[in-house]
């Protein structure tokens, strides 16, 4: 048995009941349940349709995401989340680079690394080198003035944690940022790279070892083992190539506004909705949200 979830951007409600009914009838689905009026609905389905991805593509043009997944075990016991462009709307290193006057160069490297075109470790080392001699105080300045939470994040954390889930933030970014974001949103732990500092300035070197793709997979393995749960009990979310390992191992791997090359390798792709989409696909209704 499968469940089909249709959803859109909550800031621009556009999910038409006639669209839901049309797809339900075409696929022979069961009765639809509305999780949020004009925003999210779901219906059960006995078999996986052959034209799933063609329909997904057609719905993208209408501003609607489609997710099809097994009914069993879709409400997860753990959230494993990337930070940059996932839990926050920015890439922290790009914002630091703007302050250092090397924004364009660093953004280009970041984009290529997140698309899987560059080795993550090498790309991070190169970008950090361009920040050499930037005052450490700029980190706080960037956090205060340039960083904003991704919409839906507070509700996602508050709702899953109220239901007993564990939340871990794993980032290829930096602890100076993950510490504050984790505290702000209520993550139980955070893992990230470190920016080395000497005499109040960035040295231009990251701490070693660099936390990249494999380190995120290790976090998945280590935390689930510690909690005594399976990888099938985990919902992972990210947008870049360095997230693919954990996205493909977790029970539900969500490519959120991801690079096309990343989304193409994931079964759950959210391009229209915000982070509350991760609640809707677990079967939470809007009235169930906390926070």
* Cβ 237 vs Cβ 216: under 8 Å: no
User: Which secondary structure element, helix H or strand E, spans residue 65, and what is its range?
Assistant: strand 64-70
Instruction: Give the strand pairing for 40-45 and 2-8.
Output: antiparallel
- 84 among known catalytic residues: yes
Instruction: Tell me how far apart the terminal alpha carbons of the chain are, to the nearest angstrom.
Output: 32
* Cβ 252 vs Cβ 238: under 8 Å: no
Classify the phi-psi angles of 147: left when phi > 0, otherwise alpha if psi is within -120 to 50, otherwise beta.
beta
Which residue of the set 16, 21, 61, 82 is catalytic?
82
DSSP secondary-structure letter at 16? -
What sign for the dihedral angle of Cα 174, 175, 178, 184? negative
Question: Could you write out the DSSP letters of every residue in 257-288?
Answer: S--HHHHTT-SEEESSS-TTHHHHTTT--GGG
Which residue of the set 84, 94, 239, 274 is catalytic?
84
Token pair for 96: 């630091």
- Give the position of tokens 């991805």: 53
Count other Cβ atoms within 10 Å, centred on residue 183: 10
Residues that are catalytic = 82, 84
């Amino acid at each position: 048995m499968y469940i089909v979830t249709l959803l859109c951007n909550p800031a621009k409600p556009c999910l038409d009941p006639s669209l839901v009914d049309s797809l339900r009838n075409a696929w022979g689905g069961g009765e639809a349940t509305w999780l949020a009026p004009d925003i999210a609905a779901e219906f059960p389905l006995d078999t996986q349709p052959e034209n799933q991805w063609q329909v997904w593509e057609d719905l993208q043009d209408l501003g609607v995401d489609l997710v099809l997944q097994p009914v069993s075990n879709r409400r997860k016991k753990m959230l494993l989340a990337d930070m940059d462009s996932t839990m926050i709307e920015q890439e922290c290193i790009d914002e630091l680079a703007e302050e250092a006057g090397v924004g364009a160069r660093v953004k280009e490297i970041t984009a290529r690394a997140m698309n899987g075109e560059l080795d993550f470790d090498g790309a991070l080392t190169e970008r950090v080198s361009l920040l050499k001699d930037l005052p450490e105080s700029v980190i706080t300045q960037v956090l205060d003035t340039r960083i904003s939470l991704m919409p839906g994040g507070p509700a996602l954390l508050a709702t899953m944690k109220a239901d007993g889930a564990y939340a871990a933030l794993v980032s290829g970014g930096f602890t100076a940022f993950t510490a504050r974001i984790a505290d702000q949103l209520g993550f139980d732990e955070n893992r990230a790279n470190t920016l080395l500092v000497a005499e109040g300035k960035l040295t231009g070197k990251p701490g070693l070892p660099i936390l990249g793709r494999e380190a995120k997979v290790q976090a998945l393995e280590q935390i689930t083992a510690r909690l005594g749960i399976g990888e099938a009990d985990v919902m992972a979310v990210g947008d870049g190539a360095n997230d693919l390992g954990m996205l493909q191992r977790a029970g539900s791997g969500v490519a959120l506004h991801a690079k096309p090359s990343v989304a193409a390798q994931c079964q759950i792709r959210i391009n229209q909705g915000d982070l509350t989409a991760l609640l809707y696909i677990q079967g939470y209704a809007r009235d169930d949200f906390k926070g």
